């Protein structure tokens, strides 16, 4: 491609920051949108719940809760069933956030909305939240001094301190790469329009699958980190 053409190519929009600060408006409103979608579907499923033949939405929720419940019982035991809502909420929220970029027409200056999980700051917030919750569970289960002995052990201290970071970057890397691919496909010149539409549609379908996998991994690691913190170190 000629140098002049490269210079004429409009930059990929990155959104707006509040007064030039660290708060990214696109991340804030897309995260809020994802949260509203999860809450709305949850309340709607609760209102429509029946003991008879379940509807499609109720069936999805029951399948999700059953899968997370089985994982919690296998990893932690029946007495830790209270972890199920945590796992389900994290899965649903991360999945909704991952799928925001699939919806057309939600971004101001383009026809896609950036996934908030493609912003490393949200991923950091999710990772730190999980880190705090799981370590708080460890303190409650073992007491502060036994928890601290395990946490600051010479073999495990680096792993314990960096779990939130690895959890965050794993999610961020996959979603950021997917968002870049969609943006690049949509930035192609107009004479490639039919091909870019086909390619972007195929990629979005693949991206939906990746979003499910990443949400599942994030929720699964949350449950595993919960387990690691309440068990004795070996």
Q: What does the pLDDT read at residue 38?
A: 92
Rounded Cα–Cα distance for residues 113 and 79 (Å):
41
**Interval 95-128: pLDDT, tens:** 999 888 776 555 544 445 678 898 889 999 999 9
Report the share of the chain in percent with pLDDT over 90: 33
Q: What does the pLDDT read at residue 177?
A: 73
Q: What does the pLDDT read at residue 22?
A: 63
Q: What does the pLDDT read at residue 76?
A: 83
Spatial CA neighbour of 37 closest among 84, 103, 107: 103
More confident call, 231 vs 88: 88
Q: What is the torsional sign of CA 146, 147, 152, 155? A: positive
Domain map (residue ranges) of the chain: 23-230
Rounded Cα–Cα distance for residues 167 and 130 (Å):
9
- The set of long-range contacts for 179-188, using a CB threshold of 8 Å and a minimum separation of 24, is 179/101, 179/114, 179/115, 179/118, 180/12, 181/207, 182/101, 182/112, 182/207, 183/12, 183/110, 183/112, 184/12, 186/110, 186/111, 186/112, 187/9, 187/10, 187/12
Rounded Cα–Cα distance for residues 210 and 131 (Å):
24
Q: In the predicted model, what is the mean pLDDT of residues 74-98?
A: 90
Q: What are phi and psi of 86, to 5 degrees?
A: -65, -50
**Interval 144-189: pLDDT, tens:** 999 998 899 887 889 999 999 999 999 998 877 776 766 666 666 6
pTM for this structure? 0.79
Rounded to the nearest angstrom, the gap between the alpha carbon of residue 118 and the centroid of all alpha carbons in its chain is 9
Q: What does the pLDDT read at residue 132?
A: 96
Query: Per-residue confidence at 3, pLDDT binned at 50, 70, 90?
Result: very low
Report the share of the chain in percent with pLDDT over 70: 74
Half-sphere exposure (CA, 13 Å, Cβ side) for 149? Answer: 8
Q: What does the pLDDT read at residue 4?
A: 41
């Amino acid at each position: 491609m000629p140098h002049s053409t490269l210079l004429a190519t409009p930059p990929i929009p990155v959104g707006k920051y509040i007064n030039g600060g660290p708060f990214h408006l696109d991340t804030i409103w897309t995260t809020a949108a994802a949260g509203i979608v999860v809450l709305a579907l949850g309340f709607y499923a609760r209102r429509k719940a029946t003991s008879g033949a379940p509807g499609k939405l109720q069936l999805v929720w029951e399948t999700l809760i059953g899968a997370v419940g089985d994982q919690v019982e296998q990893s932690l035991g029946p007495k830790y069933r209270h972890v199920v809502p945590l796992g389900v909420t994290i899965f649903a929220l991360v999945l909704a956030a991952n799928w925001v970029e699939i919806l057309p027409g939600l971004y101001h200056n383009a026809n896609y909305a950036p996934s908030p999980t493609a912003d490393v700051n949200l991923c950091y917030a999710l990772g730190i939240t999980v880190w705090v919750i799981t370590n708080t569970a460890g303190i409650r289960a073992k007491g502060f001094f036994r928890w601290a002995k395990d946490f600051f052990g010479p073999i495990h201290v680096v792993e314990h301190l960096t779990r939130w970071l690895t959890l965050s970057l794993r999610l961020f890397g996959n979603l950021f790469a997917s968002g870049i691919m969609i943006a690049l496909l949509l930035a192609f010149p107009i004479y490639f329009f039919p091909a870019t539409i086909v390619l972007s549609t195929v990629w979005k379908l693949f991206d939906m699958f990746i979003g499910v996998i990443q949400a599942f991994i994030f929720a699964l690691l949350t449950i595993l980190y919960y387990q690691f913190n309440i068990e004795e170190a070996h």
